[in-house]
Amino acid sequence: MIPAAEQVIGREGETATFLSRCVVTFGLREFGFAPRQLRRSAAHLKCYNRRHIGTRTMSQNQWTAVDEYITQLFVPPDPALDAALRASNEADLPPINVSQTQGKLLYILALSCQARSILEIGTLGGYSTIWLARALPNGGKLITLESDTKHAEIARANIARANLSDAVEVRLGKALETLPQLAAEGFAPFDLVFIDADKQNTPAYFEWSLKLTRRGSLIITDNVVRNGAVIDADSDDANVQGVRRFNAALASESSVTATVIQTVGSKGYDGLAIAIVTGDK
């Protein structure tokens, strides 16, 4: 089977779709090309790229297939998590939750820092919430902030089905209003913060995360590459500009040590920022 279309990422980070019999070089064998055809197709592709869009090609079909392969190996079927995705889908929530493999990564990160208290900004249907909450020890607490009433309602049901209602509070309201409340109520410091809400406000959420964490806490932020658009300083996309401001703030913040990892998979091409609070100023 040869995929009809693939995504091509150009030098400027723009995404174009084109019809082609060529797929990413190392995928060609799998699709039944003989070595000579393979060399010819690879040369053809290189030539196409040089003329049209740059030097690198990436295939969404291939990212999805590999994600499925990784998921089968590392994320076995799970009644509560699978039901959360199904219920969110049936309720027409946008499919903007983290992927299964990313959810597992969040779980591992929360386990590795032995998080007892977690703050999530952006709940949706509670899929990432369930992953994170499962890493909590007995008596641990996760507070997740959501501004959409329907999302919060679906999330609460999904969290209840996962038997996590005692450990998780879904707090309804705009995060810039609920974050000061949390601070006043004395919930901080959190051991881990996951930022995954409206991207324009990501810099402000990062500021709050610094106030609500301690030395050794992790601050994880999703969607910081945005299909490569993050390198476009002139972008008129408010989300891209929000993420650019966040990345710049993260890079220049002396009280954290941080990096950004580009990610590909079933959710496309994006990136995850991971920071540890060192407390140095």
Ligand X SMILES: C[S@@+](CC[C@H](N)C(=O)[O-])C[C@H]1O[C@@H](n2cnc3c(N)ncnc32)[C@H](O)[C@@H]1O
Q: Could you list the residues that contact ligand X (CB under 6 A)?
A: 96-98, 122-124, 127-128, 145-148, 151, 174-175, 196-198, 201
The residue assigned the tokens 């703050």 is: 119
**Nearer of residues 23 and 132 to ligand X, judged by Cβ:** 132
**Nearer of residues 67 and 146 to ligand X, judged by Cβ:** 146
State residue 18 phi and psi, 5-degree precision: -140, 150
Rounded-to-integer distance, Cα 98 and Cα 151, Å: 15
Number of Cβ atoms within 10 Å of the Cβ of 78: 16
- Enter the tokens of residue 51: 């003329």
Half-sphere exposure of residue 175: CA atoms within 13 angstroms, side-chain side? 26
First to last CA, the chain: 56
Smallest separation, CB 32 to ligand X (Å): 37
Q: At what angle do helices 202-211 and 175-184 cross, to 10 degrees?
A: 10
**Nearer of residues 33 and 269 to ligand X, judged by Cβ:** 269
Rounded-to-integer distance, Cα 126 and Cα 129, Å: 5
**Nearer of residues 177 and 280 to ligand X, judged by Cβ:** 177
Strand partners, 190: 213
Smallest separation, CB 80 to ligand X (Å): 13
**Nearer of residues 149 and 254 to ligand X, judged by Cβ:** 149
Q: By three-state DSSP, how is residue 2 classified? A: coil
Amino acid at 13: G
Strand partners, 19: 5
**Nearer of residues 62 and 123 to ligand X, judged by Cβ:** 123
Q: Find the radius of gyration of the CA atoms of the chain.
A: 21
Smallest separation, CB 89 to ligand X (Å): 12
**Nearer of residues 43 and 183 to ligand X, judged by Cβ:** 183
- Enter the tokens of residue 75: 């994320």
